[in-house]
Amino acid sequence: MEYNFRETEKKWLDYWKENKTFKTETDPSKPKYYVLDMFPYPSGAGLHVGHPLGYIASDIYARYMRLKGYNVLHPMGFDAFGLPAEQYAIQTGTHPAITTKKNIQKYREQLNKLGFSFDWDREVITSDPAYYKWTQWTFLQLFKSWYNQETDKAEPIDRLIKIFEREGNKNVRAASSPIEPFSADEWNHFSEKKKQKILMNYRLAYLSDTWVNWCPALGTVLANDEVKDGYSERGGHPVERKKMRQWFLRITAYAQRLLDGLETIDWNESIKEVQRNWIGRSEGAVVFFDIENYPGQLEIFTTRPDTLFGATFMVLAPEHPFIKDITTKEHREKVKEYVNKAINRSERDRIADVKTVTGVFTGAYAINPVNGAKIPIWVAEYVLAGYGTGAIMAVPAHDSRDFAFARHFNLPIIQVVTREKGKQEDPANWTDSYDSKEGYLINSGIINDMPVNKAIPAIINFLKKKNRGYGKVNYRLRDAIFSRQRYWGEPFPIYYKEGIPYPLDEDLLPLELPEVDKYLPTETGDPPLARAQHWKSREGYPLETNTMPGFAGSSGYYLRYMDPHNDREYFSKEAVSYWRNVDLYIGGDEHATGHLIYSRFWNKFLFDLGLSKEEEPFRKLINQGKILGRSNFVYRVNLEKYAEYLLWKKIVESGEAEHVIRNYRDGNRRFDFYHQKAKLIVEIKSQEKLEKLESYYKDYIKDTGKRLILLPIHDIIYMTNEIVEEINCAIHETAPGKIFFDDHKIRKLKPIFVSHNIKDRELWSIPLHVDINLVHNDVLDLEAFRQWRPEFQDAEFILEEDGKYICGWEVEKMSKSKHNVQTPDELIDKYGADVLRMYEMFLGPIEQSKPWDTNGIEGISRFVKKFWRLFHDEENRFNVTDEPPAEQELKILNRTIKKVRDDIERFSFHTAVSTLMICTNELSNLRCRKRDILEPLTILISPFAPLITEELWKQLGHKPSISFAHLPDYDEKWLKEDTFEYPVTFNGKMRFKLTLPLKLSQKEVETAVKETPQAQKWIEGKTIRKVIFVPKRIINVVVN
């Protein structure tokens, strides 16, 4: 009898659930360890085998840390707000909450089957009002806060108001939107409405007009990464750029702290670099350019103020507010047309499109502040409104995009930096701009001959003295748009009085989503919440109708897990003081510039408020790779092409090929074959009644004097020889202008599929994705395939010589459309959760992407069964002895403990599984059944295969759960190797193995090999030319 995984796994899954085995409490007597997965969005499709990869890894580490004596927090929840549920609601009228609840139930069932040690009592669901109460509460704190650059932290807005009352804003150093200075007296005389408008420029959550990606079909704003080539990623709907009033989070206030914090955390360097680039710190200068015949100034930011003398034109982003006012009358129409076209492209597309050069001249001129030169002002889409000021000074000699623009529009190019001091080149001969990070200034007035590093501060000082600019640190990071025009999201706890937003009282939270008649925008274009009746505050003021974006609920969920049932506060001081932050966070690297930035910002803000205890939320981050689908393909025969192929083969065999033209053209007509000598056209047709086609060819045949034979596809494929005879008869028929066709019996064409390795298959077949569940080791189950789809019921197959249909395969993303989605449920039912867990780890390093292939899972299944047999006899009776272990067994065990512990600490789970397999094989070969060996081995393997080891732990006489046993230590004395088992080869062929002491010299090894009885057979009557000895590797005896 073999191990019954179904019975065992169900037993222990039920036990854990009933006994709440993994329920975690705050326990100051134990060191804490907080392991967290990026929680999933519960889609209707459920989990596929790629999703649990990170969950398995985190669970192994959580179980490992429990064995080391840590109090482990390992929770799970669901990021439940999202566009898919809303779109389903729009299509069906089903409330998103109903769909979400159903999907969560499915996810929970799937996750539970995998044997995870989650504390489900701490589950959070972002769409639960009890949870999003604290998302709304945090938003209110952001709304009521400003960022004081003096103290470098967020502070209450009331403190800023007191400063304004006392001294105005002249001396305030704050992260803010542009704001005119005012005195205390002016502030004190401002109306309430004006004061609130001013404060909006300082709040960390604020309202502002901005250009957004608006998708009319979805009725909402989309983030840049949700738009591709002008269409929404979801649904492929057109997206347009539109100016809208949106809520923002002033994340830019934390730019430097977000950058500095990267140096304090243990994250993959590539993810850190992505965030550094996203934050994009750069040092340079703000420069002011006067505009000819216009009162305003153009403000630009440049990292290279030293190249100001080389600025030969300026470029504005299509969204720049000055365009309308400065464009001259004769250029107005062209500029308007260009702007309307450019602003409807997403910023991502504009950044990516480096080859296309477009732009339009405004007719206006700016004045270069360092030399008084008039330079034209252009509009071009390669300048973005959100970075810097939305305007640039163009220095084509030293910037590649400016260079391409200048060449395209024939604008001046002036070199101002040279490699060698005083040496000038002619830019007319250049094919690209010159990278000027190092060198000397030329053609640059007061900074001539200076090296670049000295010219930059010199020109900044000049600009400052002339009141034309100043030095500045700039960041690419932009404030986060925080509102969406959707129903299924957190409502804003905001009401409006005279158009001014005010916060709801905190004791009114949560502000729950109202019922609406439809989940669509209103007829006037307002968001779906505007459909709700009585969507007003208690005082009758209108409530905000936008909802929060998807990342709102995920930005602080890790904190709520610490104290999920606290209805008085986000989390208690006691809980956060104990759990502090996440020790290990596992999730995908696709969140590098989204969730991982926003959650760091969220946490730093709460840290400023004295709530969170650590400034960084995630101490260590592991980004698991993706499990890619291994798709299978069948090859559907293009019957017409196949018939042509078969007929041509017969023509070649008959020796007539020299007289025949394939794909014959006569004017606009194309024919399959033309026999020149016999003036015979051969046409292959799929029509059932060939006589219906006669009239189509009649006039052509009559006019040309040629002859025509019409052949049905079916008969060429199934009756090729007979068809060849028909053609031969037609060739020898001499009457001109004749059309031949037989009154063939009508036969329905069936779909034909050709096996992958059939010669020339690619010439007459097309690949189709096939359900991977119909394929085993790339061999197609023909009957199952026929039943897969109604149109394939009578399918026929061209098979390999061995009678099999071999499918093609390719590694690509798992998706339903590719029929390559493998669900964990199917594999758990066939092999068990322990096998699936270990197999996913065995596939390769956790951080690498790898293809899914079930061909190797059988090996893991055999290993688990072999491990079970260490404890049981042939009758499946428990059979473990108390006999003292042998030296070899102790060596195997201690070596395995050390290697597995080291591998887990390095998150090298694939090598740990391999080591456990080797250990099991070695112990099996030794027929080891000793408690002192098998008991610590059971504990060691339990993080990987928790269900089988729970059963074995009980059989070994212990009370459950093995999860809280003590991780075995290794004894160094058993790690010291004094012998080695050498493979002994003769002329490169391995003949036997020989165990020898490691201390032997080369000569002693040669003697030992020559004297061993196994060697006599291979050296008898031969001359030993030499013995090649590689210590701890191999012994090779070379003989004549």
Q: What are the tens digits of pLDDT across the range 403-413?
A: 999 999 999 99
pLDDT band of 741, cuts 50, 70, 90: low
CATH topology for 979-1039? Ubiquitin-like (UB roll) (3.10.20)
Q: Of 356, 347, 339, 319, which is closest to residue 239 (Cα–Cα)?
A: 347
**86-95, 186-195, 560-569, 865-874: lowest mean pLDDT where?**
86-95
Closest CA to 603 of 642, 564, 571, 641: 571
Distance of CA 362 to the CA centre of its chain: 42
Q: Can you tell me the mean pLDDT for 616-627?
A: 96
Number of H helices, E strands in the chain: 33, 40
Question: Residue 165: CB partners within 8 Å, gap ≥ 6?
Answer: 184, 187, 188
**Degrees, nearest 5: CA angle 398-401-407:** 85
Give how far Cα 477 sits from Cα of 146, 275, 591, 652, Å: 18, 10, 16, 68
Does position 941 have pLDDT exceeding 80, yes or no?
A: yes
CATH superfamily label, 627-812: VSR Endonuclease (3.40.960.10)
Residue type, 977: E
At 747 the pLDDT is 65
Residue 737's pLDDT band (cuts 50, 70, 90): low
Amino acid 956: pLDDT: 97
pLDDT in tens, 706-736: 888 888 888 888 887 887 887 788 777 766 6
pLDDT band at 198 (very low <50, low <70, confident <90, very high): very high
Instruction: Measure the CA–CA gap between 700 and 664, rounded to whole angstroms.
Output: 15
CA 368 to each of CA 223, 301, 413, 437, 731: distance values in angstroms, whole numbers, following the listed order: 37, 14, 15, 22, 85
Omega within 30 of 0 (cis) for the link into 1013: no
In this prediction, what percent of the chain has a pLDDT beyond 70? 98
Distance CA 319, CA 340 (A): 9
Give the right CATH number for 281-475 from 3.40.50.150, 3.40.50.720, 3.90.740.10, 3.40.640.10: 3.90.740.10
Asked whether the beta carbons of 711 and 723 are under 8 A apart, the reply is yes
pLDDT digits (tens, 9 = 90+) for 200-211: 999 999 999 988
pLDDT of 249 > 80? The answer is yes
**DSSP assignment, residue 357?**
-
Give residue-wise pLDDT tens across range 202-245.
999 999 998 888 888 887 778 777 787 778 877 788 888 888 89
Question: Per-residue pLDDT for 184 more than 60?
Answer: yes
Q: Which run of H or of E encompasses 222?
A: strand 220-222
> Ranked by mean pLDDT, which of 37-46, 87-96, 362-371, 380-389 comes out on top?
362-371
- With cut-offs at 50, 70 and 90, classify the pLDDT of residue 996: very high
Residue 571: is its pLDDT beyond 60?
yes
Peptide bond into 861 cis (omega under 30): no
* pLDDT of res. 687: 64
pLDDT band at 417 (very low <50, low <70, confident <90, very high): very high
- pLDDT greater than 90 at residue 358: yes
Cβ neighbour number for residue 854 with a 10 Å cutoff: 20
DSSP strands (E only) in 829-955: 850-851
What is d(CA 107, CA 842) in angstroms, rounded to the nearest whole number?
A: 24
Contact 37, 55 (CB under 8 A): yes
Torsion of CA 171, 173, 178, 181, to 10 degrees: -10
Q: Lowest-confidence range among 111-125, 293-307, 351-365, 796-810?
A: 351-365
Residues 6+ apart with CB under 8 A from 456: 285, 304, 305, 306
Q: What is the token pair recorded at 400?
A: 């590649």
Q: How far apart are CA 674 and CA 683, in angstroms?
A: 9
User: Which residue has better confidence, 159 or 745?
Assistant: 159
851 in Cβ contact with 630 (< 8 Å):
yes
**pLDDT > 90: percent of the chain:** 78
Tokens of 999: 């201390």
Is residue 139 within 8 Å of 548, Cβ to Cβ?
yes
3-class secondary structure for 745-793? CCCCCCCEEECCCCCCHHHCEEEEEECHHHEECCEECHHHHHHHCHHHC
pLDDT tops 90 at residue 473 = yes
Model confidence at 160, in pLDDT bands (50, 70, 90)?
A: very high
Superfamily of domain 831-974: Isoleucyl-tRNA Synthetase; Domain 1 (1.10.730.10)
User: Both tokens of residue 268?
Assistant: 């993959």
Q: What are the C-alpha distances in Å from 476 to residues 283, 388, 762?
A: 11, 7, 50
Residues of the chain with CATH 3.90.740.10: 281-475
Judge whether 533 and 477 are in contact, CB under 8 Å.
no
- Whether pLDDT at 847 is above 90: yes
Instruction: Dump pLDDT digits (tens) for 1023-1038.
Output: 999 999 999 899 999 9
Which of 596, 614, 514, 625 is CA-nearest to residue 559?
Answer: 614
Contact of 800 with 806, CB cutoff 8 Å: yes
C-alpha–C-alpha distance, residues 980 and 999, integer Å: 10
Query: Which residues of the chain form CATH 1.10.730.10?
Result: 831-974
Q: What is the mean pLDDT of residues 124-129?
A: 98
Using the predicted structure, report yes or no on whether residue 792 has a pLDDT greater than 70. yes
